[in-house]
Structure 1
Amino acid sequence: MRRRLDQILASLGYGSRREVHGLVDEGRVTVGGTRADDAAAKVEPGQVRIDGEPLDHPDGLLLLLHKPAGVVCSHEEREGPSVYGLLPPRWRRRNPAVTSIGRLDKDTTGLLLLTDQTELVHRLTSPKHKVPKLYRATVDADLAPDLPARFASGTLLLTGEDKPCAPAEVRLLGPREAEVTLTEGRYHQVRRMFSACGATVLTLERRRFGHLELGDLPAGEWRELPLTTFGAAE
């Protein structure tokens, strides 16, 4: 779709409107192989080059990040180091902003999806879609043999809530280690579910989101995914 050249460049993080006008004035921008001379001209993003290079993900970004411990899923600087600080500066300046699809708390590690596709964020976080998410947890006490049945019962209540959790699948990996698959996304849900059963979570890692696996991706790194990974918009 044709859009104003300055709008395209600013939305992709190449600078403010004034700064991208400067790129055009300096002759660094071409459209269809011809030097651009009007930053307000309507153009196709795929025809634009800056310093001879195609635009950086003009159709949008979808990333699978291995979130390390100690960073938050927030754009608020007052909340401390953020997952967004792990990304290239230009991606952090995109508009719409790159944001996480759901959140992991500061101490939780593992698979985190990031995108600038607002519709995709809403779709994958909507309760009606029940996207399964798998977590691996270690706890401070031996897990009872009936824990899988309690999590799967659909009757487990969290402190301060009157609606029970949806059934969750548990696979015991050891006396104090388990994998949990949820289709909900309540606040600190995995930690609170174990707490309701008398155990405190010591480490928590998300290993899967929908059909996507974390695999051996190192902490703090990401891989790019096709925008069609979760199908077309509804």
Structure 2
Amino acid sequence: MRLVKLLANLGYGSRKEMQQAIRHGWVTDRKGNQLKADAKTDHKDILFDDEPLDPAQGVVILMNKPLGYVCSTKDQGRLVYDLLPDRFRMRKPVLSTIGRLDKETSGALLFTDDGTFLHQVISPKSNVPKVYEVTLDRPMNGSEAALFASGEMMLENEQKPLKPAELDVIDETHARLTLHEGRYHQVRRMFAATGNHVTDLARSRIGTLTLEGVDEGQWKILSEDDKALIFS
């Protein structure tokens, strides 16, 4: 891929702007040599304004999403993309969230520009577990674990029962819930069906991938070993 197109696809600017950046000497190799538009330098050896390039297509990002942010590129208010470098919004292919967390849910959120990887994570065949830390308005009644694990629970206005889910009761108003699917507001609706209300919700794990080392509002690019944890 030509250098101008590569830089534009990574969101650093338009092709015209990248042509100007190259002419001004802002694009170099690691030895400080200025690169030309037709340079055939390895991605890892290219610097833009003395900084290594962002990862090529196929990047996967883990964010520790704070409360109050929306998983959208167009909605009003605070967006999860506001927590990433501005150029990430301009990447081609687009950088998409893998599933969503609503505005009032925090925790582990994945992004990728790899459509195959995205569908692999969300596919029912992958059966990727997602773990949520739940705080409730009222004490649980004691029947929730059996109901959630039954595989027979129906949510309002749906025609298919939920897959079995595992509930680990921490105390009377705190629990850890593991889901193997991702329906609209599923955790909140499950507890609402038992007569309770979720007051705080955070996703703590996807597969065996945790948020260790990623503070609230921060993000990291996943290594191949990190990505493997999603499916383990």
3-state SS of the aligned residue for 1:130? coil
Counterpart residue type for residue 35 of structure 1: Q
CA contact (8 A) 2:61 2:222 kept: yes
Which residue number in structure 2 is paired with residue 116 of structure 1?
A: 113
1:7 equivalenced with 2:22 (yes/no):
no
Which residue number in structure 2 is paired with residue 36 of structure 1?
A: 35
How many Å apart are 1:227 and its aligned residue?
Answer: 3.9
Q: Structure 1: which 5+ residue stretches go unaligned?
A: none
CA distance in 2, matches of 1:70, 1:80: 9
CA distance in 2, matches of 1:4, 1:43: 10
Counterpart residue type for residue 23 of structure 2: D
Counterpart residue type for residue 16 of structure 2: R
* TM-score (ref. length: structure 2): 0.89
Q: Deviations over 1:67-111 (max 9, x none)?
A: 1111111111x3431111011122232222222111100000111
Q: How does 1:1-234 map to 2 (within 5 A)?
A: 3-30=1-28, 34-37=33-36, 39=37, 44-58=42-56, 60-76=58-74, 78-215=75-212, 217-231=214-228
For the aligned residue pairs, the C-alpha RMSD in angstroms reads 2.0
Percent pairwise identity: 44
CA distance in 2, matches of 1:135, 1:32: 43
How many Å apart are 1:47 and its aligned residue?
Answer: 4.4
Distance verdict in 2 for CA 1:59–1:99, change over 3 Å: closer
Distance verdict in 2 for CA 1:145–1:19, change over 3 Å: same
CA contact (8 A) 2:3 2:38 kept: yes
Q: Structure 2: which 5+ residue stretches go unaligned?
A: none
CA distance in 1, matches of 2:184, 2:110: 18
* Number of residue pairs aligned between Structure 1 and Structure 2: 227
3-state SS of the aligned residue for 1:127? coil
3-state SS of the aligned residue for 1:56? coil
* TM-score (ref. length: structure 1): 0.88
